Every structure is written in structure tokens, then in C-alpha cells.
Amino acid sequence: MPFAEVIVDIAHSDVDKIFDYACGEGISAGMRVVVPFGNGVTTGFVMRVKEETQVLPDRVKRILRTEDERPALTGEALSLAAALQERYKTPMALVLRLFLPAEMRTGKVSERYRTVIRLVREEEIPARAKRQRELYDFMRANGEADSAFLREMFGAAVKPLLDRGVLAAEKRRVFRDPYRGVEGENTAKKLTPFQQNAVKTVEETKKTVCLLHGVTGSGKTEVYLTLIADALAAGRTAIFLVPEISLTPQMLSQLRARFGSTAAILHSGLSAGERFDEWMRLREGSARIAIGARSAVFAPVENVGVIVIDEEHDGSYSSESSPRYNTFDVAYLRAAGNGCKLVLGSATPSVETYKRAKDGEFELIRLPERINARPMPEVRLVDMRREVRRGNPSPFSATLREKLAECLRKGNQAILFLNRRGYSQTVICRDCGYVATCEHCDVALTYHSEEDCLKCHYCGARYKMPPACPSCGGRHLGYVGTGTQRVVMELKKLYPSARILRMDVDTTRGKEGHFKILKQFADREADILVGTQMVAKGHDFPSVTLVGVLDADMSLHFADYRSGERTFQLVTQVAGRSGRAQEPGEVVLQTYDPDNAILRFAAEYDYEGFYAHEIAMRAAMMFPPYAKIVRVMATGENEAETVEALRSVYEKLQTLYAQRPEEFLFFNRMHSPIKRIQNKYRYQVLMRLTGGGVLKDIYEVCAAEKHKNVLIYVEENPANLS
Ligand code: ADP
Ligand code: ZN
């Protein structure tokens, strides 16, 4: 009798091991099964089927039943899961869950069927059975029809024919089609020579990873779609990852027009049932392209021919829940395993990615100009300190007001961008633009009101809040951010007839979310779109000729070593929304720091200049990619327990530190800058590593810690250190 190695679907490290069960012939690896466990039953995953077990015959239990007709997890998923478990040391059950739609595990939705009735036997129907004859004739003409429809049309005549075996009913699987009614023209275009070269280079290079560095509007999407079409033509499948926000209505209809139902598009606007069905279509092979945000990297496609990660620099590609995987790492494993290419695309690649490309690890491919050699929009830097001195209290500079008026007069559209996230905590002088930074780390300090002090999130240093600007003595220190709502209000006063749309976290809640707003703007139901980060991403609105960045430097002052990079990316991305069609575009960048090197590079679209500047800073300060920032976090509701758990893990980490000091640039225990979030205390050990093998040991140390009410986890280069 065969035995199955089963991982039970319980996310606890105590049960994170293989259990052997006896099983019948129908069981194979990848299936979900129901097994007796402890005093009850639980579901589990079959990892492997084998002929023998070490478990004593009288102790081995039997699998009760299977949940799947065919394995939910592919062979690739199982081996990938093993690799991820090895990398991140999280319980296998948690890793395996990544590969299944949540709806499948919770059993809240299921497959949907409809009943079809077919004609299976010819028969003489007596003339007096009039309705039956009509039905019979109908079926002879049509062969089959929907059961509900027939019952409505022919009522009681259906049953006798079914009973006599003239007709037969049959259940058929139906897929909910979330894109019914989404139509678009097939926009396949003849590739430009640059695009052709890009496709050719990807397909011919020996390297697994290609970085497609193309300015905004250079036609990267067309390159991806060609690569995907080529993969399909070769009988393979494809994975296309985009930041959630890029799945705009325009993008959906373009994909739909190009690939029809071959593409399964997973995004947050789908209902649970729709998502489940899209996943199922991929698993069964009727859809062969998986398109979606981060989690689509786990799509159940087999024989993958290409994987694309668009906007590779985007922060949404790192997971913030356990296991804290990095999408690139997973995609890379899949690409290597399938012998296919992994294509990263961006106008503003992350510094780490670009370095790897320049060092020759990745193939670097450029799309140096916009389609039809359209010019990049001209960027004007406006000094907001002067506006303050002139007594202009509004969020708009004189230049921006002038340009807005002109844009509206010409009947074009404008986008105004502002960024508030995290800003209120940074201290800036409105007179001179001074920002409080850490003496040791050169990142902006964060103000903590509960302790009335400034803190560095990288070294824990604390500073007193200065009473006046240390640089100019000015007294206008503090928070200068402006909310989207206020901007809209001011705009309405200035341009009463303009139609204005607001897009931020408040207006994009709900199932439709940002879709509706973007669609309205694309359909030209508004003249001005005001928004936060969300408006920066890859939208293509041909009528936009003006982009205003209300506070360009605020993201420079995030308390984060990547803030320079983020600012450059953000400015380039928003600027890229302007002037995408015939009319040339313009960009107004409002700043308190007009001499800032990063903003200057962004204004000139000088990625190389930016990169040289940034990488030198990273090398000097020993920040990634020259080091790895690792945080071990302990969180729990009880402070004493949390402190105790951290102390325990800290001691073991300290042993590692003592054994291999050369691998540590920094090692410190502290409570997190924000001591409590959502009722959970947060204590951490912060480390900066040279990139040696000690990281693996850190994961192991943390995985071995067992505390009842305290969660311990490891983060690598976390996006946010608060
Ligand atoms: P990116 O993603 O690099 O910012 P897009 O893929 O959005 O650029 O392309 C910019 C615009 O150029 C789009 O409107 C797209 O339809 C158009 N485009 C792309 N490739 C071609 C081509 N080969 N010929 C004509 N137009 C193209
Ligand atoms: Zn510091």
C-alpha cells in the first residue's frame, strides 16, 4: 500500500514537518487531502507518494479523502515551495498557501456548473404529445441547450423525454468571465528598430535576467507583449507582473484584445469567485498567460516561456506578510527552473538592479527614446522658498497657476501630484529648505510626538527638536504638507469651471477602487486629476500636457536610505505622464530645495548621472547594495513577553556576532522607532551585514525561537523602518 508524505495546513512551527499517511492509488503529489490529526481532522498537502514508511503499521493513519480531482499544486510549485522554505525558514504550510487562491483554502467559493441537456436518442414522438414534439424538434435542430432555458420554454415536456432516455442531462463546468464586455481593438504594432532589437536580445542572450531600461513612453509594453506572444507561439506559457495600480481599464482592454481568454488577469477588483475561476483556468491550461500583481508570480502555469516584471523598482514587489518573499527571487527561481528569461522593465531601475546589470550579471537593454522620437516633457524647477517670501500661502506657485490656466484654455488635461506619506514626521525649514538629518547615517530624522524628539531609524540615535532652524535661524520649522482635499478646494476657487477628480486612499476604496477614477479621467470627464503616488504609475493619457508636482522634495526626506532613489523614480514617473501624444508636455516641479542634486538629475532625465551620484553615496555610507539591512522583529500584545522573546533571540544573534564580527557592520538591539502599532509592542534587533553567509544563520536562529504570544520575523532591506 502506498504512503503519502503530508504537510498539514496549520501555520505553526510545531507541526511544520512531514507526516506519513497510508493512502489509496488515486493519491498523487500536490493534492489537498483531509487527514485525521490529533483528536480531529485537518486538511493537508501531499508532498510525495512513496512505497514505504518508517511509521509502525499499527500507528499509521489513513487519508480520509481528497479535496481535488487533480492536484491543486503543480510539481513546480512543490519544488519551488521547498526552495522558498529553505530560503525564508517559514512553516511549509504558509509557503504552500502562496500557491493557492485564498478562496480555495477557505472553501468559500467553488466551481460553478450549469446543466446542459443533449439529444441522445432518436424516437418517434406521437402527434398528440404536442409540447414534447416541439421540444424534440427543437433539440434535433440544436443538438443541445441549457436546461433552465428548456424548462422555461417547454415546461413539463422536458421530464418525460429525459425519463425515456431521449434526452440526457449533463453538468458542465462554467467559468465566471470577469471581462465580459471588456473590449478593445487589437493594437499590435509594428515594432520600432529599438523594440525589435530588445525582443531579439532577450530571446538570444545566454543570461537569464534582462533589464529593459526604457524611458517613459518608449514602448516597453509592446516589447513585453511581443515576448509573451512569442512564448505562446512556442507552445509555452507566460507570467506578466505589474504593480496592481497599473492594471488600468485601458491596460485590461489592451490585454483582452490582444490575447482574449488566453490571458487570466488577476487583480483586486475581481470577486472571490472570479479570481478562483481565473486561477482554475490557468491550472487547467485553458488560460496560458498569468497577469497580475506580486502574487501572480505563483501562478499555476507550467512550461513557462517568459516572465516579465514591469516597473521592477516598485515597492509593491516585496511581501509584507510571512513569508516576506521578494518577487524577484521567486521569479528568478521559476525562470531558472523553466529555462526561460526573466525580463525586468523600468524607466528608473532600482539602484541595486542597475548595478547588477552594469556588472554584467543581467543583460542590459535600452530603449533610449520615446516612440516617434516624441520629446520628453520639459521640466521646470520652481523655488517654493521664494513663494513663501513673497507671501504666497497657496500650494501653487505663480508658474504652476499660469501653466494650469493655459492648459485648461487649450482644452488639455493636467495631473497634479502630491505625496504625503510619512512626511508629517519630517522636520523641514520653510525658509531655507533645511532638513534635520542624522549625523551618522545621513538620512532624514523622524519626529516622534510621544517622546517629543527626533529619531534616526537606522542607528537609533535621538536628537532634541531644535527650537529654530539650525541653518538659517528661521522659525518656520515643521510640517508643510498639504492634503489632496485642500488642493482640490483651492483649485476650485482658482478655476471654478474646471472639472476636478481626486485620487487618493480615501477615494479609491472599494471594489472598483482606482479603476473608476482612472476611467473617468481617460474618458475626459475631468480636466484635472489630483492625486498621491497612485497617479504616478504607468498610465497613458494622451491629452495630458501638464504635470505639476506640488512638493517634489518631500519624498527626499523620508527617513530611508532609498529616499533619493524614490524621489528620482517618482518625479520621472509622474513627468512621464505628460505629453504622450502629439502635443508636447510640460512639468512643473515645486521644491524647497532647488539645488538638490537628485531633483536636478530628474529634471534632466539623467538616469546615469543620478545613478553615479547615488551609488557613490551608498558605497560611502555602506548602504545596500553594498550591505544588507536586516531587522529581526518581535511583536506581541504583552510587553514583558515581547521583551523576553527578543532578549532570547538577541542572545543567540549576539553569539553569531561574536563569532563572525567581520560580517556585521552594525548590530544593535532597541525598541522600534514606533514602539506600538495596533496594540502590538515592537522590539527589534537591527543589523547591517556585509552580505556573507550569516544571514542564513539569522533566519535559522529566528525560526528556532518558539514563543507563545510573540511573533518573531526577519526582514531584509525593509521598505520601512518605523
Ligand atoms: P512605456 O511602457 O515604455 O512607458 P508604452 O508601452 O506605454 O511606453 O508606449 C507608449 C506609447 O507608444 C503607447 O501609446 C503605445 O501604444 C505606443 N507605441 C508603442 N510601440 C509602438 C510602435 N511600435 N509603433 C507605434 N506606437 C507604439
Ligand atoms: Zn543614524
Q: Which amino acid is at 347?
A: A
Range of the domain at 384: 374-421+484-618
Q: Which atom of ligand 1 is nearest to the CA of 220?
A: 3
Summarised one tens digit per residue, pLDDT across range 247-282 is 777 777 888 889 988 999 887 777 788 888 899 999
Q: Which residue among 253, 540, 573 is best mutated to probe the pocket of ligand 1, counting the most ligand atoms within 8 A of its Cβ?
A: 540
Summarised one tens digit per residue, pLDDT across range 627-656 is 999 999 999 999 999 999 999 999 999 999
- Which residue's C-alpha comes closest to atom 9 of ligand 1? 219
Contact call for residues 414 and 527 (beta carbons, < 8 A): yes
> How much is the average pLDDT of 353-375?
93
Residue 54 in any domain: the answer is yes
Tell me how far the alpha carbon of residue 444 lies from the centroid of ligand 2, in angstroms.
9
The pLDDT of residue 282 is 94
Ligand (nearest to CA of 213): 1
Lowest mean pLDDT among 32-36, 290-294, 550-554: 550-554
Lowest mean pLDDT among 210-214, 230-234, 445-449: 445-449
Ligand (nearest to CA of 196): 1
Residue 224 in any domain: the answer is yes
Looking at residue 91, which CATH number applies to its domain?
3.40.1440.60
Looking at residue 140, which CATH number applies to its domain?
1.10.10
Cα(437)–Cα(463) distance, integer angstroms: 10
Tell me how far the alpha carbon of residue 221 lies from the centroid of ligand 1, in angstroms.
7
Tell me how far the alpha carbon of residue 561 lies from the centroid of ligand 2, in angstroms.
10
Q: Which atom of ligand 1 is nearest to the CA of 581?
A: 14
- Which residue's C-alpha comes closest to atom 10 of ligand 1? 217
> How much is the average pLDDT of 510-539?
79
> Whose CA is closest to 635, among 688, 674, 689?
674
- Which residue's C-alpha comes closest to atom 1 of ligand 1? 217
Is 690 strand, coil or helix? coil
Tell me how far the alpha carbon of residue 672 lies from the centroid of ligand 2, in angstroms.
14
Cα(48)–Cα(75) distance, integer angstroms: 10
Pocket of ligand 1 (CB under 6 A): 189-192, 195, 214, 216-222, 371, 538, 540
Ligand (nearest to CA of 572): 1
Cα(240)–Cα(297) distance, integer angstroms: 8
- Which residue's C-alpha comes closest to atom 18 of ligand 1? 219
Q: Is the pLDDT of residue 291 over 90?
A: yes
Residue where a domain stops, chosen among 570, 595, 618: 618
Summarised one tens digit per residue, pLDDT across range 455-497 is 777 777 888 888 888 888 888 776 544 567 778 888 999 999 9
> How much is the average pLDDT of 406-412?
93
Q: Is the pLDDT of residue 422 over 50?
A: no
Residues 248, 329 within the same domain: yes
Contact call for residues 296 and 239 (beta carbons, < 8 A): yes
Q: Which atom of ligand 1 is nearest to the CA of 542?
A: 14
Residue 183 in any domain: the answer is no
Ligand (nearest to CA of 199): 1
Calculate ∠ Cα 159-164-168, nearest 5°. 70
Residues 395, 414 within the same domain: yes
Residue 623 in any domain: the answer is no
Q: Which atom of ligand 1 is nearest to the CA of 195?
A: 23
- Which residue's C-alpha comes closest to atom 19 of ligand 1? 219
Is 379 strand, coil or helix? strand
Residue where a domain stops, chosen among 446, 480, 514: 480
Tell me how far the alpha carbon of residue 464 lies from the centroid of ligand 2, in angstroms.
14
Q: Which residue among 371, 573, 582 is best mutated to probe the pocket of ligand 1, counting the most ligand atoms within 8 A of its Cβ?
A: 371
674 compared with 51, residue with greater pLDDT: 51
> How much is the average pLDDT of 348-353?
96
Q: Which atom of ligand 1 is nearest to the CA of 192?
A: 23
Total structural domains in the chain?
A: 6
Cα(451)–Cα(463) distance, integer angstroms: 11
Tell me how far the alpha carbon of residue 345 lies from the centroid of ligand 1, in angstroms.
14
The pLDDT of residue 184 is 64
The pLDDT of residue 270 is 79
Residue 655 in any domain: the answer is yes
Residues 357, 245 within the same domain: yes
Q: How do strand 586-591 and strand 544-549 relate by DSSP bridges?
A: parallel
The pLDDT mean for the chain works out to 86
Q: Is the pLDDT of residue 425 over 50?
A: yes
Ligand (nearest to CA of 459): 2
- Which residue's C-alpha comes closest to atom 5 of ligand 1? 219
Ligand (nearest to CA of 368): 1
Q: What is the DSSP letter of 190?
A: P
Q: Is the pLDDT of residue 526 over 80?
A: yes
Tell me how far the alpha carbon of residue 540 lies from the centroid of ligand 1, in angstroms.
9
In the structure grid, which three cell numbers stand for residue 463, read together? 536628537
> How much is the average pLDDT of 569-592?
85
The pLDDT of residue 223 is 97
Q: Which amino acid is at 659?
A: Q
Q: What is the dihedral of CA 718, 720, 721, 722, to 10 degrees?
A: -150
Looking at residue 678, which CATH number applies to its domain?
3.30.70.600
Tell me how far the alpha carbon of residue 522 lies from the centroid of ligand 1, in angstroms.
16
Tell me how far the alpha carbon of residue 217 lies from the centroid of ligand 1, in angstroms.
6
In the structure grid, which three cell numbers stand for residue 454, read together? 527626533
> How much is the average pLDDT of 556-573?
80
Residues 87, 139 within the same domain: no
- Which residue's C-alpha comes closest to atom 20 of ligand 1? 219
Query: Strand order of the sheet with strand 65-66?
Result: 61-62, 19-22, 3-8, 40-50, 32-37, 65-66
The pLDDT of residue 33 is 94
Ligand (nearest to CA of 445): 2
Q: Which atom of ligand 1 is nearest to the CA of 216?
A: 4
Residues 509, 468 within the same domain: no
Residue 521 in any domain: the answer is yes
Q: Which atom of ligand 1 is nearest to the CA of 214?
A: 3
Q: Which atom of ligand 1 is nearest to the CA of 218?
A: 3
Residues 239, 284 within the same domain: yes
Residue where a domain stops, chosen among 106, 124, 155: 106
Q: Is the pLDDT of residue 423 over 60?
A: no
> Whose CA is closest to 77, among 45, 118, 110, 52?
45
Summarised one tens digit per residue, pLDDT across range 33-68 is 999 998 899 999 999 999 988 888 888 899 999 988
Beta bridge partners of 713: 633
665 compared with 362, residue with greater pLDDT: 362
Q: Which residue among 187, 195, 222, 366 is best mutated to probe the pocket of ligand 1, counting the most ligand atoms within 8 A of its Cβ?
A: 222
The pLDDT of residue 490 is 84
Residues 198, 283 within the same domain: yes
Ligand (nearest to CA of 455): 2
Q: Which residue among 189, 569, 582 is best mutated to probe the pocket of ligand 1, counting the most ligand atoms within 8 A of its Cβ?
A: 189
If one counts every other C-beta atom within 10 angstroms of the C-beta of residue 3, the result is 21
Contact call for residues 499 and 528 (beta carbons, < 8 A): yes
Q: How confident is the model at residue 283 (pLDDT cuts 50, 70, 90)?
A: very high
Residue 179 in any domain: the answer is no
Q: What is the DSSP letter of 680?
A: E
Residues 392, 525 within the same domain: yes
Q: Is the pLDDT of residue 390 over 90?
A: no
Residues with CB under 5 A from ligand 2 (ion): 438, 440-441, 456, 458-459, 461
Tell me how far the alpha carbon of residue 414 lies from the centroid of ligand 1, in angstroms.
20
Summarised one tens digit per residue, pLDDT across range 102-154 is 877 776 666 677 788 898 888 888 878 888 888 898 888 888 888 888 888 88
The pLDDT of residue 478 is 66
Ligand (nearest to CA of 250): 1
Tell me how far the alpha carbon of residue 7 lies from the centroid of ligand 2, in angstroms.
44
Residue 688 in any domain: the answer is yes
- Which residue's C-alpha comes closest to atom 25 of ligand 1? 189
pTM greater than 0.75:
yes
Contact call for residues 223 and 279 (beta carbons, < 8 A): no
Cα(381)–Cα(506) distance, integer angstroms: 29
Q: How confident is the model at residue 18 (pLDDT cuts 50, 70, 90)?
A: very high
In the structure grid, which three cell numbers stand for residue 654, read together? 549576539
Tell me how far the alpha carbon of residue 445 lies from the centroid of ligand 2, in angstroms.
8
Q: How do strand 453-455 and strand 462-464 relate by DSSP bridges?
A: antiparallel
Cα(388)–Cα(395) distance, integer angstroms: 10
Q: How far is CA 694 from the centre of its chain?
A: 29
- Which residue's C-alpha comes closest to atom 15 of ligand 1? 219
- Sequence-separated (6 or more) residues with CB below 8 Å from residue 504: 484, 531, 532, 534
The pLDDT of residue 73 is 95
Tell me how far the alpha carbon of residue 265 lies from the centroid of ligand 1, in angstroms.
21
The pLDDT of residue 340 is 97
DSSP string, 606-655: -HHHHHHHHHHHHHHHT-TTSSEEEEEEEEESSHHHHHHHHHHHHHHHHH
Residues 116, 45 within the same domain: no
Tell me how far the alpha carbon of residue 656 lies from the centroid of ligand 2, in angstroms.
23
Residues 382, 522 within the same domain: yes
The pLDDT of residue 512 is 61
Tell me how far the alpha carbon of residue 684 lies from the centroid of ligand 2, in angstroms.
16
The pLDDT of residue 483 is 64
Looking at residue 386, which CATH number applies to its domain?
3.40.50.300
Q: Where are the beta strands (DSSP E) in 140-184?
A: 144-146, 167-174
Residues 339, 204 within the same domain: yes
Residues 583, 610 within the same domain: yes
- Run of H or E including 114: strand 112-119
If one counts every other C-beta atom within 10 angstroms of the C-beta of residue 82, the result is 13
Tell me how far the alpha carbon of residue 13 lies from the centroid of ligand 1, in angstroms.
49
